[in-house]
Structure 1
Amino acid sequence: MRRLGFSYKSMPKIPVLLDDVSFVAQRAFYFRRLTELRESGAFIYFHDETWLNAGQEKRSIWIDEKGEGRLRKHDGKGKRIAISAMIGVQGFVEPFDVRTCDSDHAMNSDHFHKWIRDAAGRLRINHGAGSIIATIIDNATWHNVLCDDAKPPKRAWRKDQLQQWLDNHRIQWVPRLSKAELLQLAFENVPPKRYVSNAIARAFDVEVLRLPIKYCVLNPIELAWAQLKSTRAYGSD
């Protein structure tokens, strides 16, 4: 099998049906839209976040035939920073969002929405009115916060909350309906997804295009992050 180019690897604990129709359709839309943007001469930027520890060390190193190599100087921990940035054909472009964070997580929708507002505004100023600009992002939860009027109802809601949701979306209902019937009616009329990040960028006439789910490999900024972490790991002293 190796001669044929296959490798043996363990599968993730959580299966993802990448051949499901929805995933295939998402990939097709992404590549078609990306081709359209390139053919139209659009300025395309890829965005992503990463994390870096002050004591970053490589877990594996090359050793000589005597088994000697560079010793670890840190435990790989220490103060942690989060970095949010984007890259274009000329390399990294401003703005950069660099901040300290805890060991669990620090990125959230508030940080991201502030960043994309600043980024979209700067891109519009840099390229001028009339230019086609697109920012490509992944499907992190803080990237996909829905606008208030696009949020679906929750199963845990009370009847009066479901009734209010239906009223807000101008969907007719009758008082005799049970909670299950109200919930079914609401789910049948869930509005299309509209993301806050898209709305913020659209105010500056900047398009937001999302990578297909589980396809971060299509984001060239991942290579830059890998180089950054490798450089930091070797130069941690």
Structure 2
Amino acid sequence: MDHVEISPSKKNPRGKFVGTGQKQIIINLYKDKLKQQLENPDSPQLTYRQMLVEISKASGIGQRTIQTILAEYKKEGTVSSPNKKKIKLTILDKVDEFDKNAIRRKIHGFWLNREVPTLAKMLIAINEDETLPNLKRSSFQKVLKELKFVYAKKSRCSALLEREDIQRWRRKYLDQIRQYRAQNRPIYYLDETWVNAGETHNKKWVDSTVKSSRDAFLRGLTTGQKEPSGKGKRLIVLHIGSTDGFVPGGLLCFESKTNSSDYHDEMNGATFFEWFEKTLPLLKENAVIVMDNASYHSVKKDPIPVMSWKKQEIIDWLESKGEIVTQPTIKALLLEKVQTLKSQYDKYVIDEYAKDNNKTVLRLPPYHCELNPIELAWSSIKSYVRTHNNTFKLKDVEELLKKGVEHVTSEMWTNFVGHVVKEEEKFWNIDSITDEVMDAEPEEGARHILTIGTGDTDTSGDSDSDSD
């Protein structure tokens, strides 16, 4: 008989998905090994580890992967298909809320200095700032659109202005909070944040004379607590405070159950309302409660019809308000009638509940987190957690979080609010300055406003045309 050489099993490339078919082969190999041992009790019995080694040699798949597949099969009774879909992050995902806020502040800084911020000027300023992400022109335009900026014609340049509705919202907010302070009404600020089990300071002192772990051991030194490779599990945190400090009993803290990159996804209207209902009695009478416009803060008491509603649903809504609908009709006319009634019924559950309890909700304009002093409190708390976190266990981090909250005193809160009042003053002035600068040396005709879109370009005359 001719000698036949059998080539070794081809190894599965590192990182390559193991398909359902391959997983089933591994299950079959494992069952076959068990069957052989049952049928031949007198032969040497393989340990589970030895089985993993033999299955790995036969299949070309790593032992750890095989162990994971077998564990899944034992638990679920089946094997799952690999998730081959990779989620590609957009530029808006990569630039977080703090960076977006910093970009808006930088544009405002130009206006405060009475300098017209064009797209080209701002792109240079942002890319020269080491604390901000480096952006290409098209990416920057997407961020500007997200931040509700528009182009306004100024001489031969296109100035960057915030959309009129954002300006109105901010001005109305600033006017209202000034009035509430003048009336000596107690003002509370609430917000959510997150804390990871792996919270730690990134910068550490390093002894450059220690060359290795072995060197440290021989010199009687320790290489310290090993930091986690990732951020680990996460706590979602909600609290409320004022110049009196954090409200005792107002802390809500729970473990994140998803891998979402946005901690806002963890909260919902029911959870927030339950907390709000419990916390409201802890506040002073006639209080003002400042919050942002997160979706769970903004659950409608009576949803208002929109184009996505079915025609009959819109008719039913109108008739429930006492309106007479003449048939036949079209959606556009029905929605026009809805607009005339919208102001009467477009109300939030939270706002109405607060009003019923002698409290007032005041909503921050979008992308204005610097107007909420609790952001400074969060920064102090997270710094405390990072400084003292040495176990990277969620339970321990939760205790550090509570201690961090206790370390934020009423004096600190008073300073935080004082800082915010100064920021409010800047915003109060900026719109007036913008008007003055734009009105100086007026262009012939009316001011032209252009919406920033993905493919839009400004007319500043710059030849920069970088793209992603």
2:300 alignment partner in structure 1:
146
Of 56, 69, 88, which aligns to 2:199? 56
SS at 2:247's partner residue?
strand
- More helix, by proportion: 2
1:196 alignment partner in structure 2:
349
1:218 alignment partner in structure 2:
371
Give the distance between the partners of 1:218 and 1:72, measured in 2 at CA.
38
Shift of 1:70: 7.8
Distance 1:171 1:112, change over 3 A: same
SS at 1:135's partner residue?
strand
Give the distance between the partners of 2:228 and 2:268, measured in 1 at CA.
29
SS at 2:281's partner residue?
helix
Task: Provide, for residues 183-226 of structure 1, a one-character-per-residue CA deviation record: whole Å limited to 9, x for no partner.
Answer: 44334543353111111111210111111111011111111111
Does 1:179 find its partner at 2:331? yes
Distance 1:199 1:189, change over 3 A: closer
| Greater RCO, CA 8 A, separation 6+ | 1
Shift of 1:138: 0.8
Larger Rg: 2
Give the distance between the partners of 1:138 and 1:72, measured in 2 at CA.
38
2:256 alignment partner in structure 1:
101
Distance 1:72 1:171, change over 3 A: farther
Distance 1:72 1:194, change over 3 A: farther
Of 374, 377, 382, which aligns to 1:229? 382
Q: Is the 2:273–2:350 contact (alpha carbons within 8 Å) kept by the matching residues of 1?
A: yes
Does 1:92 find its partner at 2:246? yes
Shift of 1:44: 0.8
Q: Is the 2:173–2:362 contact (alpha carbons within 8 Å) kept by the matching residues of 1?
A: yes
- More strand, by proportion: 1
Mean Cα deviation higher: 101-110 or 211-220: 101-110
Give the distance between the partners of 1:67 and 1:22, measured in 2 at CA.
59
Unaligned runs of 5+ in 1: none
Using the size of structure 2 for normalisation, the TM-score is 0.44
Using the size of structure 1 for normalisation, the TM-score is 0.83
Shift of 1:62: 4.8
Unaligned runs of 5+ in 2: 1-109, 114-121, 128-134, 150-161, 211-222, 391-468
Mean Cα deviation higher: 135-144 or 91-100: 91-100
Q: CA RMSD in A?
A: 2.7
Does 1:112 find its partner at 2:264? no
Q: Which amino acid aligns with 2:305?
A: P
2:29 alignment partner in structure 1:
none
Give the distance between the partners of 1:136 and 1:53, measured in 2 at CA.
26
Give the distance between the partners of 1:17 and 1:82, measured in 2 at CA.
28
Shift of 1:122: 1.6
Distance 1:179 1:209, change over 3 A: closer
Aligned-pair identity in percent equals 27
